Structure 1
Amino acid sequence: MATTKRPNFLLIVADDLGFSDVGAFGGEIQTPNLDHLAYAPSGVRMTNFHTASMCSPTRSMLLSGTDNHIAGLGQMEFWGRGRDPPVPWSGRPGYEGYLNFRVAALPEILQDAGYYTCMSGKWHLGLTKERTPHARGFDRSFALLPGGSSHYAYEPKKPDGTPVFAHWASLYYEDDQRVETKDFPKDFYSSDHFSKKLVDFLSERETNASVKEKPFFAFLPFTAPHWPLQAPESNIQKYKGKYDDGPDVLRDRRLKRQIELGLLPADVEAHPVISSTKDWDEMSAEEKAWSAKTMEVFAGMVDRMDENIGKVINKIKETGEWDNTFVIFMSDNGAEGAIVEAIPMTGDVIKKSINKHYNNDYENLGNRDSFIWYGPQWAQASTAPSRMHKGYVTEGGIRCPAIIHYPGFAETPNGHITDSFTTVMDILPTILDLAGIELPGPNFRGRQVVPVKGKSWIPHLLRKSPRVHDEDHVTGWELFFHQAIRKGKWKAVFIPKPKGPEKWQLYNMDKDMGEIHDLAEEEPEILDELIKYWLAYVAEFGVFL
């Protein structure tokens, strides 16, 4: 590029978006803005991008460049907070339940380097004032602190005035001040408001001459399409009847489309669907209609999210800085296949509360006072060919869509597709590399911080390197005692009972994307080597088992 100005960054995160939910990744949902990024000559689709298996661990890795067991989210915050008796991992370093101060957060680094930093959306990395985005390097921020909430800020109360779902309360902060939902506009909808606030923050930069001189880092982490599935009726109506054939037909259609787009090999073998819910063919007509409607609402959420991404892009174009803006779009984990009422310890309470305080009649699905999810079969239509969905360290839980757009890259008609193995930990060093900023540490802002573990994508994106990580690179995953370790093409997985066989399984990921053919008995030496790497990973990152 001719300009010598440091690049701007727009980092967009979808919440529980499946691999094929975006049009450019094989989906039927209308996502023209994301598709335009992907198919632009300087667009890149990453088909081998990996996250953690759930949301806040991924976010801690994204903003720290290291493993979630180091960054403070070794376990989901809700499963450690306030338990009586305390959970065994409470008090352990790396299990604080918030983005800890052993890491230098990406916005802190960029802020110190002279960037204007702003965010709007889901935080999920701390619930107190001293752990807000404002406290971790954002000049301007509007944030939902917990992991989710009603997309319409609808909060039924108990007789004592407390929210029905206390841990899902609408806890919002703007900068360092609490914002009450009673002060929200009457037409509040999460995706709309998040994009509006980010546009406002970018507009503020335009009106301040000293700030306008700074490049910007804009972070837009949506809560969509995380349950409860809710969307404006105009978006839902676009998909009326589109899912009446059921999830298996959708799955086959998307797999075919992914092959046509060059995202999957023609001989790909998809993992069979695993579900404890009633099969489509066993459902009554009413049950099918209700299930299909949940998918229509989900599609409406993704559709609306894409509309709002377009608003932010248009704002950047209005400022004349689009050609100097590096865009990353990603999902934080695989599609959500959980049956919420089956969640251990809390599922029955959730179900009773929903029945009492919400209206889940067919005609009302997707409205502000509904509370629904779509279940494992629709989720696996999205994660195919991969095995399972969010919550699992199999590929369905951790292999996510990622799109990059930057005019400084080599151009390819209809964009470039890379299948190089990458992880969410790579994003921090990638951004710093492109910005010309050194990696932090070991002393940062008066505290000791850990090294960054990720690796910059820039040489690969510039076509100077055939891959990001070499064949000897090792990556580990663990959450809820589900374990995985990968070196090159080999991946070992341990899923405890009752979800799995409670033994190590071995897969050749080059030949078996679906993790179907367990080679543990055929390749014992490879499995033994990977287990040794697993033990080293546990020791290095302080994993509690």
Structure 2
Amino acid sequence: MKRILAIASLLVAAWQPAVAQKAATRPNIILIMADDLGYSDIGAYGSEIETPNLDRLAKEGLRLREFYNNSICAPTRASLLTGQYQHKAGVGFFNVNLGLPAYQGYLNNQSLTVAEVLKGAGYSTLMSGKWHVGDDSLYWPNQRGFDRFYGFIGGASNYYDIGKYPEKAAPVVLVKDNKKLNLEAGKYLTDEITSNAIGFLDDQAKTNKPFFLYLAYNAPHWPLQAPEETIKKYEGRYDIGWDSLRARRYARQQALGLIPAGQTISPRDSLVPEWDNLSYEDKQVWKRKMEVYAAMVDQMDQGIGKVLEKLKALKKDENTLVLFISDNGAQGGYTASGRRKPQRNSGPLGTAGSYGYQEQSWAYLSNTPLNNYKNNMHEGGISAPFIAWYPKAIQGGGIAKGTAHLIDLAPTFYELAGATYPKQYNGVTPHTLAGKSLVPVLLGKEPEVARGEPLFWERAGNRAVRKGKWKIVSTYPAYKWELYDLDTDRGETRDLAARYPDVVNELSADYFRWAEKTGVVDYEKIKPKGGFAIPGADRVVAANQ
């Protein structure tokens, strides 16, 4: 018996270093997502906005020309967190319940979060920022696999507490590990999201586990609010207007290799006025909008730099994968009848009491050179910058086509972490993962995802399918498909539907098979009557926004 115990002790002693070694070699993962950031809004994708930390990650890492999201906040986050199409995860429309399982407005139990799977594989799971996939406390981050959480639960938030202003508003309500708290007066929410993420990393460093950090900034989502010292950096930078700046961004994108030679640029938005035709007074208002917007992106980049500094201080930078994306394209908002209605204001644009929007004219710049905006399935609505940095494995300076999607992130993380996606979880059979691992693309072995099946989109009646070079798209309330060859016409300037009806029919049939399998229903049957409220947003959103 003593001999058996001795052998067992030796086996345990041998196994423990092996476990520790495995934990040390598995990568840490940081997933950073911006909110309403356009395709060209960072320096590495052509912008004049100062983003030195993201530019550094791009220079030392990999960029993708084509990375897709779900066109709007909550559906994007549902796919990001679960590796499922958003309807399969229960968030087919938004974080509101429309009465069907695919549209219940919060993550279902069959769609495991990345935090749940990685936690089961021995990772610490951390989140700081915007949640937006379940308002009830039963579905908050700590109940869906995250060890630590700081941030806000709903879809929008002020960046400052504004209780001292004449038009008194509710405090900025936040949550930290299931306990509600208010944002302190004078604090800027972007900075607080960064600070709490860094605090979580400090605490986590006391363990011997690898970590997963989901850093979900709400910048540069409205309201436009930023520290005045950062805004001042951009005074005068937007005096030449969106027309000239869009041409400059496009030229930079070509020089960087993001837009291949011969590719198209989307046509001019007829609802965006020519800058030179604006009055002097109008130009002053418009310039300030983009100065504040740029400052919000700049402040976010500063926060990312602080997180990178913390990684280096903890000596974890070489073995950490950092991914950066945006949840959708920049937000438009114009219609044939005019601009969006302004919201309340209790202070100058950019200050704590203001409630400005970027608006479509500047969003036209942000989405350079792509067509359309947030909540639309043309390229400007569903395309995001994508940067992957992993010093240990990714060769610096690369640009790949990619043609990747949010649903690909979960299988990528599981492959890198050596995590097994469970067949059973708390008595539930999880949905099969919908995406493909990006590891071959990240490591330079493949230029794009070898998917073997199309990509699909539907949200509020807007629909699209991407299959190889072909893309069909329709915009609610129309049901007519447009067809584009994205290999040569990513600007979506030439509708080829009449020339290639067989292609349209093939992709349309693919769409309806996917819709039936995924729980998608005709939007006319479920759309909210009279719009719906976004918590914390001080506004009601139309049903098709």
TM norm structure 2: 0.88
- 1:52 is matched with 70
Instruction: Check 1:489–1:156 CA distance in 2 against 1; reply closer, same or farther (3 A cut).
Output: farther
SS at match of 2:65: strand
- 1:422 is matched with 404
- 2:3 is matched with none
Q: Identical aligned pairs, as a percentage?
A: 40
Whether 1:274 and 2:269 are equivalent positions in the alignment is yes
Q: Identify which of 372, 392, 417 aligns with 1:388.
A: 372
State how 1:126-525 maps to structure 2 within 5 Å: 126-154=134-162, 163=170, 170-179=172-181, 181=182, 184-206=183-205, 208=206, 212-274=207-269, 276=271, 278-338=273-333, 351=342, 354=344, 357-359=345-347, 364-412=348-396, 415-441=397-423, 443-470=424-451, 472-497=452-477, 502-525=479-502
Instruction: Check 1:260–1:186 CA distance in 2 against 1; reply closer, same or farther (3 A cut).
Output: same
- 1:166 is matched with none
Aligned equivalents of 1:107, 1:156: Cα separation in 2: 38
Instruction: Check 1:6–1:491 CA distance in 2 against 1; reply closer, same or farther (3 A cut).
Output: same
Offset of residue 502 of structure 1: 4.3
> What one-letter code is carried by the residue in structure 1 that aligns with 2:185?
K
Calculate the aligned-residue CA RMSD, in Å: 2.3
- 2:56 is matched with 36
Offset of residue 188 of structure 1: 1.2
- 1:86 is matched with none
Q: Identify which of 29, 33, 42 aligns with 1:9.
A: 29
SS at match of 1:267: coil
Q: Is the 8 A contact 1:118 1:218 kept in 2?
A: yes
Aligned equivalents of 2:443, 2:201: Cα separation in 1: 28
Q: Is the 8 A contact 1:20 1:382 kept in 2?
A: yes
Deviations 1:148-182 (A, max 9, x none): 111113368999x984xxxxx73421111122x2x
Q: Is the 8 A contact 1:390 1:396 kept in 2?
A: yes
Q: Identify which of 81, 84, 91 aligns with 1:63.
A: 81
Offset of residue 407 of structure 1: 1.6
Whether 1:73 and 2:61 are equivalent positions in the alignment is no
Aligned equivalents of 1:340, 1:54: Cα separation in 2: 18
Deviations 1:6-56 (A, max 9, x none): 11011100001111111111111111111111101xx00111000001011
Larger-Rg structure: 2
- 2:7 is matched with none
Offset of residue 129 of structure 1: 1.4
Q: Is the 8 A contact 2:412 2:438 kept in 1?
A: yes
Aligned equivalents of 2:104, 2:177: Cα separation in 1: 22
Deviations 1:464-510 (A, max 9, x none): 3342124x42111011101111111111011124xxx6411111111
SS at match of 2:376: coil
Deviations 1:251-287 (A, max 9, x none): 1000000000011023222112325354423321010
SS at match of 1:447: coil
Offset of residue 246 of structure 1: 0.9
Q: Is the 8 A contact 1:421 1:469 kept in 2?
A: no
**Structure 1 runs not aligned, ≥5 long:** 82-89, 164-168
Aligned equivalents of 1:406, 1:144: Cα separation in 2: 29
Aligned equivalents of 1:380, 1:218: Cα separation in 2: 32
Aligned equivalents of 1:509, 1:401: Cα separation in 2: 17
Q: Is the 8 A contact 1:273 1:377 kept in 2?
A: no
- 1:85 is matched with none
For these two proteins, the number of residue pairs brought into alignment is 502
Aligned equivalents of 1:135, 1:289: Cα separation in 2: 47
TM norm structure 1: 0.88
Aligned equivalents of 2:214, 2:65: Cα separation in 1: 22
> What one-letter code is carried by the residue in structure 1 that aligns with 2:133?
L
Q: Is the 8 A contact 2:403 2:448 kept in 1?
A: yes
Whether 1:541 and 2:540 are equivalent positions in the alignment is no
Aligned equivalents of 2:188, 2:152: Cα separation in 1: 13
> What one-letter code is carried by the residue in structure 1 that aligns with 2:152?
L
Aligned equivalents of 1:158, 1:103: Cα separation in 2: 45
Q: Is the 8 A contact 1:339 1:373 kept in 2?
A: no
Aligned equivalents of 1:95, 1:342: Cα separation in 2: 30
Q: Is the 8 A contact 1:494 1:504 kept in 2?
A: yes
**Structure 2 runs not aligned, ≥5 long:** 1-20, 523-545
Q: Is the 8 A contact 1:255 1:385 kept in 2?
A: yes
